[in-house]
A = this chain, B = another copy of it.
Amino acid sequence: MTGPDAPYEVHEIANFTLECGETLRPARVAYQTYGTLNDDKSNAIVYPTWYSGRHWDNEWLIGRGMALDPDRWFIIVPNMLGNGLSSSPSNTPPPWDRARFPRVSVRDNVASQYRLVTEVFGIETLPLVLGWSMGAGQSFQWAVSHPEMVQRILPFCGSARTAPHNRVFLEGVKAALTADCAFEGGWYSPELLPVTGLRAAARVYAGWGYSQAFYWDEVWRELGYTSLEDFLVGFWEGFFLDDRDPDNLLTMLDTWWHGDVGTTPGFSSTEEALASIRARAIVMPAEKDLYFPPEDEEWEVSHMPNAELRVIPGVWGHFAGAGQNPADTAVIDAAVAELLSADPGK
């Protein structure tokens, strides 16, 4: 069984001290698995979630006949801290609830996932870590933090370091969300969400998520929408109203904003951290991604010893990696298959 209604597991980590110095008591890492771990524990893949995504939102890339075939691989999808299923502002009891939920880093997420993978499953080798957007950022971080463990990574539409312009984009989303007085500094009533701010954030996001050409060509029609406004309300506002808690969104936004493998202890720069990656990598930006543009990934790949840049062509922009467009899905799936059949990194 898959989808939002399928049962899933939660790994509790009794005392999980975050990089910021505060401790989740406990941290809860919600996760779903697909397939069966083999006897020598050599077939596990980690596929982290993205900004506000839940484990079931990754399922479009998993299935029989696809590269991520659960008949062959054991795919673990850990939910990001802050996404509402793992420890988050919305589900942590006082006093660390809501606006007081501590700051979470990309490395905190990877550390929580490492605990899950090793403590629950005893896994020592990961043939692949992959993910979209913030999931791509976690993939890079996995490869930097655990080079002995991660054999391959396939980050798509994401980066090892959040670029300055990407941060400016996030500032706009954050400012729109929090401009609503009903936000109340994060202490809104759960029954009275700042829906004006959520809808404003959605409209800001709308311009960034897909490319100029996507809108010019009215490609939203392929998703079943009947006008631009129908798409803005139906898809974008609907997206932000679909159980997206504002404090959760801000926690993940902060994680995103500060993402940078170069701040990993032991490294003095992003370049140095990228150069340390031993995993074989196919790095897949989308041709017209407006906040993770291909040139940023080109720069990152140029510093990685064992990586190939492979651009996802087309007009879907960042959402080329969301599983909405069959052509993009085919390109990503083919790359996953190729990478999994290639020799691992050294």
Chain B nearest CB: distance from A188 CB in Å?
Answer: 13
Residue from B165, B205, B216, B291 in contact with A163 in the complex, judged by beta carbons closer than 8 Å: B216
Bound-state CA distance A167–B180 (Å) is: 22
How many copies the complex holds: the figure is 2
Total interface residues in chain A, CB < 8 Å = 42
Interface residue A14 (Cβ < 8 Å from any Cβ of B): no
**Known: A168-B215, A168-B228, A215-B163. Contact between A175 and B175, CB under 8 A?**
no
Q: In the complex, which residues 123-174 of chain A have their Cβ closer than 8 Å to any Cβ of chain B?
A: 163-169, 171-172, 174
Q: Which residue of B has the minimal Cβ distance to A183?
A: B179
Q: Are B295 and A171 neighbours in the complex by a CB distance under 8 Å?
A: no
Interface residue A111 (Cβ < 8 Å from any Cβ of B): no
Interface residue A212 (Cβ < 8 Å from any Cβ of B): yes
Residue from B204, B215, B228 in contact with A176 in the complex, judged by beta carbons closer than 8 Å: B204
**Known: A163-B216, A212-B163. Contact between A179 and B206, CB under 8 A?**
no
Q: Which residues of B contact A171 (CB under 8 A)?
A: 203, 206-207, 232
Residue from B168, B179, B205, B206 in contact with A196 in the complex, judged by beta carbons closer than 8 Å: B179
Residue from B166, B172, B180, B232 in contact with A168 in the complex, judged by beta carbons closer than 8 Å: B232
Q: What are 12 pairs between A and B in contact, CB < 8 Å?
A: A163-B212, A163-B216, A165-B212, A168-B207, A168-B228, A169-B207, A171-B206, A175-B203, A176-B176, A176-B204, A180-B180, A212-B293
